[in-house]
Amino acid sequence: MNKYSIFSIARNAFSHHENWQEAWRSPEPRKEYDVIIIGAGGHGLATAYYLAKEHGITNVAVLEKGWLGGGNTARNTTIVRSNYLYDESAAIFEKSLKLWEGLSQELNYNLMFSQRGVYNLGHSLQDMRDIHRRVNANRLNGIDSEVVYADDIKREVPIINTSPDARYPILGASLQRRAGTARHDGVAWGYARAADAAGVDIIENCEVTGINRDGGKVTGVETSKGTIRANKVGIVVAGHSGVLAEMAGFSLPVESHPLQALVSEPVKPIIDTVIMSGAVHAYVSQSDKGELVIGAGIDAYLGYSQRGGVDIIEHQLAALKEMFPIFSRMRMLRHWGGIVDTTPDATPIIGKTPVRNLFINCGWGTGGFKATPGSGWAFAHTLATGEPHPINAPFSLDRYTTGYLVDEHGAAGVAH
């Protein structure tokens, strides 16, 4: 750090941040835009950024009913990986991972992207067969992925319990070394700043309450700040996708479920990778602040409250304690929930809707954070050209009538 940055930090500290430049503007909505994006989560903001960067479309508004990033984007546990089973998923998640690898530089924003590796554990012979199959599929798609065994894991993560006497003994895992974690709200802020700089209007506290149509074509939206016209509209609202689809007069095969997470009190560095177990429904990493970041599968019931049942976290902590006995006396500090939109094949929907010029990007369930850059990139193409990019063509809504499903339940990482 040089003397100028020390002075600048001191000056800003004493000014109580009053003179800081806003990272993005807070404009009033115009009467009309070329494109409206509903939802300022990571996916919506990334879409706006790539519309400007890749397609030169900047007469764009992103409408957010709350605050930017206040949905699942800043509620998630930030695991980024691309080790999905099917070619279709591998293509979009790997595209995303490649974008992650240069994103801090591209946005000039420190996203704290940390390629610390992700282990997906196997606890039975059948788990290990499935892991072999997925690792082979990953490698055929050029995705780094390897099978490791209990001793290998123990060497890298000495605090893990690999005793064969455990209730769910750890036999091995798939390991993706390029996978890892990132700073979740930083992703929203980085994309927002870059999109705003390109001329995109990001309008917070602006709830969309209706989708206007004329002759089967979208013409704009009704909002808490009035009517706004648009040639094209993209819906990117995660847990509220069904609500927005209903406003536009069609239904989606999605369910909205709470998904919970919690963090412990901060401790010194004890785990420098990510451990996930789909079988016992628990996963853990350690944040830069020292907190253990812990999650599980979805709550079984449907709902829109951003909280969940205590039984889920009780179960996940019991499972985690068996895997890491050293955690048994740690205190938990905070706990929250988000609303995730799950699809029957655990795979997203990105593309056209029955309403002309109205497009949707949803159904990422428990696993969309990792896809933020790739999803925004592909959705921007879809909005700009009116047609899906080959990378998102397999994720059309009509696959639920044609039957071309992409069943990723086995690789979703978290049960849903």
Rounded to a whole number of angstroms, the minimum distance from the CB of residue 175 to ligand PYC is 14
Q: Which residue is nearest to ligand FAD (CB)?
A: 41
Would you count residue 370 as binding ligand FAD (CB under 6 A)? yes
Geometric angle at alpha carbon 17, from 12 and 20, rounded to 5°: 85
C-alpha 320/C-alpha 241 separation (Å) is: 32
Phi, psi of 364 (to 5 degrees): -80, -10
Helix (H, G, I), strand (E, B) or coil at 285: strand
Contacting range for ligand PYC; rule: CB under 6 A; set: 73-81, 137-145, 160-168, 194-202: 73-81
Helix (H, G, I), strand (E, B) or coil at 384: helix
Task: List residues bridging with 60 in a β-sheet.
Answer: 35
According to the binding rule CB under 6 A, does residue 388 interact with ligand FAD?
A: no
Q: Residue 367 CB, nearest distance to ligand FAD (Å)?
A: 4
- Selected binder of ligand FAD within 32, 185, 204, 207 (CB under 6 A): 207
Binding residues for ligand FAD, total number by CB under 6 A: 38
414 binding ligand PYC? (CB under 6 A): yes
**Could you say which of 172, 348, 367, 376 contacts ligand PYC (CB under 6 A)?**
367
Of 28, 416, 382, 399, the C-alpha closest to 201 is 28
78 interacts with ligand FAD by CB under 6 A: yes
In the bound state with ligand PYC, the residue whose beta carbon lies nearer, of 220 and 295, is 295
CA torsion, ordered 394, 398, 401, 402, to nearest 10 deg: -40
Residues with Cβ within 8 Å of 9's Cβ and at least 6 positions away in sequence, in order, are: none
Return the residues of window 20-39 that contact ligand FAD according to CB under 6 A.
Answer: 38-39
Which residues, numbered 139-168, are part of the site for ligand FAD (CB under 6 A)? none
How many residues belong to the site for ligand PYC (CB under 6 A)?
9
- Determine if 237 is a binding residue for ligand FAD (CB under 6 A): yes
100 vs 359 by CB, closer to ligand PYC: 100
Cα 208–Cα 351–Cα 250 angle in degrees, nearest 5 = 55
Ordered alpha helix ranges (H), 211-369: 241-247, 310-323
DSSP 30: P
Residue 72 lies near ligand FAD (rule: CB under 6 A): yes
Q: Which residue's beta carbon is nearest to the bound ligand PYC?
A: 367
Examine residue 346 and tell whether it contacts ligand FAD (CB under 6 A).
Answer: no
Q: Is 79 in the site for ligand PYC (CB under 6 A)?
A: yes
3-state SS of 333-362?
Answer: EEEEEEEEEECCCCCCEEEECCCECEEEEE
Rg (CA), the chain: 22
Q: Which two tokens stand for residue 92?
A: 């979009």
> In angstroms, rounded to a whole number, what is the distance separating the alpha carbons of residues 373 and 376?
5
**Interacting positions 285-314 with ligand PYC (CB under 6 A):** 295
Q: Which residues bind ligand FAD (CB under 6 A)?
A: 38-44, 63-66, 70-73, 75-79, 207-208, 236-238, 240, 259-261, 295, 338, 340, 364, 366-370
Q: Which residues bind ligand PYC (CB under 6 A)?
A: 77, 79, 81, 283, 295, 366-367, 413-414
